[in-house]
Structure 1
Amino acid sequence: MTLGAKELHESAIIIDAVCPLLDEQGRQIADYRAGGVTAIAPTVGARSGAEVALRTIGAWHKLLRKRDDLILVRTAADIRRAKSQGKTGIIMHFQGPGPIEDSLDLVDAFKALGVGVMQLAYNVKNQLGDGCEERTDAGLSRFGLQVVKRMNQARMIIDCSHTGLQTTMDAIENSSAPVIISHANAKSVYPSPRNISDELIKAIAGTGGTVGVVGFPGFVSGDKRPTIDQFIDHISHMCDLVGTQYITLGIDYFSDQFPYVDEKTAKIMYEKALANNSWSPKAYPPPPYYYPAGIETPKTMLMLTEALLLRGFTAGDIRKIYGENLLRIYETVWGNEASFGV
C-alpha cells in the first residue's frame, strides 16, 4: 500500500454520482460505506412516468426516515455534514426525463421532493431531444428548451449523460448554470457509442461543469474484464485535456453486474433492454459484466486511491476528482445552506 493512501481515502469526501445498484430497500448501501464513499446517487427515475418515480421517491423518504445513518442531500453542506457525522448522503438522480412527462411544473415538484439532478435523455429520443444512440441528432425540442430553463430556475442540475451530441450542445448553449455529464468515458481512449469526444469534454468544462468517469466494462475497454489501469486511462486523458478540476466519478455500479447476479439473470435483463430499445448491442456488450479489476464492487474503492497515487496523481488531484469538483457544482446550482430532515 502506498504511504498515505489509506489516510487520504478516509479523509477525502468521495461522491459516486451514479449508483443504479441501489434500491429503495437500502440494499448495497453497506458496500458503499465499506468502500468509504460519502455520498451516493441512486437512480430514482428514468424512462418511467411520474407515478412510478413518485412511488420510488416515497420509498426512499421512508428509508431515510427510518435510518439515522443516511442524510438526504439537498445542498453541498449536506454532503459535508454526512462526512463529519460518519453518515451517507443520498443524492436523488433521474436517469432520463420520463418522470416529468409533459409538465414543466413537475420539475419543481420533484425538486421539492429532493431530486437534484436529471438527465435530458436515456439513449433514445424523447419529448426533450435525442439520445446518444438515436438514429437522428436533432437537438433540443421546444419543450426541451423550456425544460432547461425551468431546471435552471428550480436549481436542478442538467445532466447530459446518454444524451445526443446536438441535444447536449443545445443544453450547453441555453443553460445559465453548469452542465454535467455524470457518467461517460473518453471516446478517444475507447470508442464506445456511449463515450464522448474530446470536443464535448471541453465544452462541458467550458460551462464549469464536470464529466464523471464510468466503470461499466463496455465503456472502459474492449476487454471483458478491464483493468483498473484501463479505467484510470480515461481519468488521465480527460485530466490532461481539461484539468483535474472538471473530472469526477460516476462509476455506475448496477444491479445486473457481477457479483450481484448470476449470468443467467443478467442475460434476461440484457435481452429485455435490447427489446425495449433502451440498449443496443453496439454500445452494450452481452453479460457477464465485470467492473475494473480491484474495484469490481464499491467495497474496494480504496484500491482506486492506491492505483491513482501509483499513476502519479497527487493527493490534491484525487480529492478534487473524488468530491471537491462535484461539491463546487452543487454549491453553484443548489446552494450551500445545510438542510435538515428528509
Structure 2
Amino acid sequence: MMIDGLQCGHFDRQAFQSLQAAKVGGVVVTCGFWEGAVESLDSLGQWRDLARDNADIAEIATTSAEVERIGGEGKVAVILGFQNANLFEGRIRFVELFAELGVRVVQLTYNNQNELAGSCYEAEDSGLSRFGKEVVREMNAAGMLVDCSHVGDRSTLDAIEASAKPIAVTHANARSLFDHKRNKSDNVLKALGQTGGVIGCAAYRNITGDEYCSSIEAWCGMVARTVEIAGIDSVAIGTDRSHNFTALDYAWMRQGRWTRGADYGASAAGKPLKAPPPDWFQKVADMGVIPGGLRAVGFSEEDVAKITHKNWLRLYEATFRKA
C-alpha cells in the first residue's frame, strides 16, 4: 500500500474511493490551518462524523499498527493532523487533550511566525522559542508527530535538536532541487536522515516546479535525488493534494484573519488561483502510478516499499505513542 504524509481539503466519500483506487491505505488529513481550539474541536467532530458515515471504506487511525491494519483491509486510514499550532491557543495542557482526541500530527507554524517558531516566509527565522521547546517536549510525551513543513530552516533544526523523537517534514521538497522558500535546505534533510526523521516529497506544482511535474519518471527522479541527500530511510510521499477546494478555501489558507491584503503563500501574483496539478497526477487515483515510477528510475522493491509506506510506518511507530 501507499501512505500519503499530507493532503488537505474537503474530503467526501468520492475522495476516499479515489484513494482506495490508488491503493493509498493511509493519509494524514488537514483538520485546520488558522483555527483556534473551539473551531478545531468542531473540525474533529466533523471528521468523526465523516469517518462514521463512511466506515466501510475509511477509519480514523491513532497508531502505526492501526494504519497498517486499516490499509491492509483495503480501507483508508485517516490520520488527524493540523497545519498550525493555533489549536493549542498558548496552553501547554491542550497538547495532551488534543492527543487524547486522536490528533497525531501538528505543524509548529503555518505561513507566519507564531509563539512557537519562525515560518519559512519570514525575513528572519527566529528559531524555536522557549514555548516552542515546551510544546515539542509535550508532543513527544503525548504521542504527536512534530511537523516542520512550513517552518523556517533554523526553527526546523532547533526542533530536531529539541525533540526526543524523530520529526517530519510531511510535505516539501529539497530546495537544492527546486529553489523555493517552502522547500528545505540540504542541512535540514541531512539532519532528518541522521535522526530518523522523514520528508514527504510533495507534488504541489508551486514548490515542485514544471520539470518535476512533467512526468511520473521526472517526479520519481526528484525523489531519487532527495534520497541521495537524506538517505533511503528518510524519504517518503507527501503530495499536498487538495480535495474540493474553492476560492474561499484558498483565501482562508493564504490570508486567514491576519491580513486585509493579498498573500499568495507558495504562489505569486499572476499565477492561477489553483496551481495546475502535475501532468501525471490529474486526479487523485493517479497516485497509483507512483510505485511503477519509482521502479522505472531504479529503486529496488525494498526501497519502493520504504518510500511508499514503510518509512512513514516506522516514524509513526516511533512517535504515535505516549512517552
TM-score, normalised by the number of residues in structure 2 = 0.90
Q: Confirm or deny: 8 A CA contact 2:254 2:265 kept in the other structure.
A: no
Question: Could you tell me whether the CA contact under 8 Å between 2:34 and 2:86 is conserved in 1?
Answer: yes
Does the alignment pair 1:72 with 2:60? yes
The secondary structure found in structure 2 opposite 1:183 is strand
CA 1:292–1:280: 2 relative to 1, 3 Å: same
How do 1:217-296 residues align onto structure 2 when only pairs under 5 Å count?
A: 217-222=205-210, 226-255=214-243, 266=247, 270=250, 274-276=254-256, 280-281=263-264, 283-285=266-268, 286-287=271-272, 288-296=274-282
- Aligned CA distance change for structure 1 residues 335 and 271 (closer, same or farther; 3 Å): closer
- Alpha-carbon contact 1:40-1:88 (below 8 Å) kept: yes
Q: C-alpha distance in 1, partners of 2:66/2:255?
A: 40
CA displacement at 1:111 relative to structure 2: 0.6
- Equivalent residue number for residue 185 of structure 1: 173
Q: 1:204 aligns with which of 186, 192, 206?
A: 192
Contact 1:221 1:230 (8 Å CA) reproduced:
no
1:236 and 1:22 mapped to 2: Cα distance?
A: 31
Matched, 1:322 2:308: yes
Give the match for residue 339 of structure 1: none
Q: Once the two structures are superposed, what CA deviation does each residue of 1:7-64 show, in whole Å capped at 9, x if it has no partner?
A: xxxxxx21011010343x5451111111110011210122110111100101111222
1:79 corresponds to which letter in structure 2? Answer: V
- What secondary structure does 2:8 align onto? coil
For 1:85, the equivalent position in structure 2 comes to: 73
Moved more, 224-233 or 105-114: 224-233
CA RMSD of the aligned region, Å?
Answer: 2.3
Provide the TM-score with structure 1 as the length reference: 0.86
Match of 2:2 in 1: 14
Residue 122 (structure 1) shift: 0.7
Is residue 107 from structure 1 mapped to residue 90 from structure 2 by the alignment?
A: no
Secondary structure of the corresponding residue to residue 284 of structure 1: coil
The CA distance in 1 between the partners of 2:251 and 2:312, in whole Å, is: 34
The unaligned stretches of length 5 or more in structure 2 are none
Stretches of structure 1 that go unaligned for 5 or more consecutive residues are 1-12, 337-342
| Distance apart, 1:68 and its partner CA | 3.0
Tell me the residue number matched to 1:57: 44
Contact 1:20–1:254 at 8 Å: present in 2 too?
Answer: yes
Q: Distance in 1 between matches of 2:8 and 2:121?
A: 20
Mapped contact 2:142–2:321 kept (Cα < 8 A)? no
Residue correspondences, number: 315
CA distance in 2, matches of 1:183, 1:272: 19
Determine which of 169, 172, 182 is the counterpart of 2:160: 172
Q: Which has the higher strand share?
A: 2
SS of equivalent residue, structure 2 residue 307? helix
> What displacement does 1:98 show?
0.9
Cα distance, 1:223–1:247 mapped onto 2, change above 3 Å: closer
1:44 equivalent in alignment to 2:31: yes
Question: Which SS does the other structure have where 1:219 is aligned?
Answer: helix
Going from structure 1 to structure 2, the CA distance change for 1:272 and 1:210 (only over 3 Å counts) comes to closer
Partner of 1:6: none
Secondary structure at 1:30's aligned position in 2? helix
Shift of 1:289: 1.9
